[in-house]
Amino acid sequence: MLRRLVHCALCWTLSMAGVAGLYILAGAEFLGLAQLIVYVGAVAILIVFAILLTQRRELLSIERLTAGSWVTGVAVAGLVAGCLWIGLAYTRGLGGAGGASGGPALETRELGELLMGRYVVAFEVAGLVLTVALIGAVILALPFEQPREASGRRADRPAAGEGWDARRQGGQGA
């Protein structure tokens, strides 16, 4: 078991790269490289940044698990994985010729035509979601600013999260 969160994150990155490798092995080169760019290039960096920004020094290592959560968690996960495994074991007809690693590869052009043609709505929606997520993430991660005298425009806007804080305290008081 890895004790350090950063190691976890890096190993996670490695496993994402491994998944990308599996994609490429399956002939989906474009997908694999996209996975690499997104997960290794962006999400992994986000995660390590989040780790660096949120973990106090003593928390950089992971807490020990309580027995209860350990048992329930692993049990449920094992159950689900086991069910999947069993289902997989009883499935026939997946090892055919199409499954050979030498099969036809994914044509990037075809994928692009699908994205820009029949599924253009899905593509646009994905773009919209990304944009909204970008803006949302920026707004969420903006540092809370106390009202300053210097900038009048900022002062009349309630700082992000202020209302939430107040409500929380009110809830505790009640």
Partner 1 sequence: MMSWIREWLWLIPLAPLAAAGLLALTPRAGRRRAAWLGIGSLSVATVLSWAAFFGAWPGAGGAGREVNFTWLTFGRTPLELGWVLDPLTGAMLAMVSTVALLIFVYSLGDMRADPNFTRFFCFLSFFAGSMLGLVMANSLLWLFMCWELVGLASYLLIGFWFEKPAAAAAAKKAFLVTRIGDLGLLLGLIYLYTETGTLLCYDEGRGCLEAAALAGLVERVSVGGITVATAISLLIFCGAIGKSGQVPLHVWLPDAMEGPTPVSALIHAATMVAAGVFLVARVYPLMDADVAGEPGLSAALQGVAWVGAVTAVMAAAIAAAQFDLKRILAYSTVSQLGYMMMALGVGGYAVGMFHLIAHAFFKALLFLGAGSAIHGCHHERDIRRMGGLRRWMPVTFAAHAVGMMALAGVPLFFCGFWSKDGILHAAWGWPVSRLPFLLGLAGVGLTAFYMMRQMAMVYGGEYRGGQLKKEIHESPAVMRVPMVILAVAVVLLSVVGTPAWPWLEEFLEGREAAVRAGDLFEHETLWIMGASALVMGAGLVAGWRLYGRRPQRRADAPDPLRMAQPAVFSLLEQRLRFDEVYEATVVRSAAWAAEAWDWLEREVWQGLMQWAGYGALAAGWLSRLSDEYLVNPAFDGGCEGVRGCGRGMSGWHGGRLRIYLRVVAAGMAAMAVWLTWG
Partner 2 sequence: MITAHHYLAVAAMLFGIGLAGALTRRNSILVLMSIELMLNAANLNLVAFGRQAGWEQGSQAALWVMCAIAIAAAESGVGLALILAIYRHRRSAHLDESPPLKG
Partner 3 sequence: MNMEGILALTGWGGLRWVGPVELFERGPVWLRDWAVGWLPEGAKVWAEGLIPAVAVLAVFGLLFGLATVAERKLLGRIQNRPGPNRVGPYGWLQFAADGVKMLTKEDVVPRSADRVLHFLAPIVMLAPVALSLAVIPYGRDLVAADPRCGLLFFFAVGSAAEVAAFMAGWSSRNKYSLLGAMRAIAQMISYELPLVLSALTVVMMAGSLSLVEIVEAQSGYWWGVIPRWHVMTPWGLAGLLLFMAAAAAASNRAPFDLPEGESEIIGGFMTEYSGFKYAIFFMGEYFGMFAVSGLAVTLFLGGWQAPLAVLEAAPSYGWFFLKLGVMIAWFIWVRGTLPRLRVDHLLNFGWKYLLPLGALNLLVAMVWRGLGGWAFPGAGAVRWLACLAMIGLPAILWGRLLMRSRGWGPRVYRYAS
> Would you tell me which residues interact with partner 3 (CB under 8 A)?
4, 6-7, 10, 13, 20, 29-30, 33-34, 36-37, 40-42, 44-45, 48-49, 52, 105, 108
> What Å distances lie between residue 131 and 35, 58, 62, 139, 140, CA to CA?
19, 36, 33, 12, 14
- Tokens 């043609």 sit at which residue? 117
Interacting positions 20-49 with partner 2 (CB under 8 A): 22-23, 25-28, 30-31, 34-35, 38-39, 42-43, 46-47, 49
Total residue count of the chain as it appears in this document: 174
Going by C-alpha positions, the residue among 62, 48, 49, 50 that lies closest to residue 10 is 48
Give yes or no for a contact between 19 and 4, defined as CB atoms under 8 angstroms apart: no
CB 104 within 8 A of CB 27: yes
Choose from partner 3, partner 1, partner 2, none: what does 100 bind? Cβ within 5-8 Å by kind: partner 2
State which residue, 86 or 115, has the beta carbon closest to partner 3. 115
- Residues in 81-140 that interact with partner 2 by CB under 8 A: 81-82, 84-85, 88, 91, 94-96, 98-101, 103-107, 110-111, 114-115, 119, 122-123, 126-127, 129-130, 132-134, 136-138, 140
Which 93-152 positions form the footprint of partner 1 (CB under 8 A)?
Answer: none
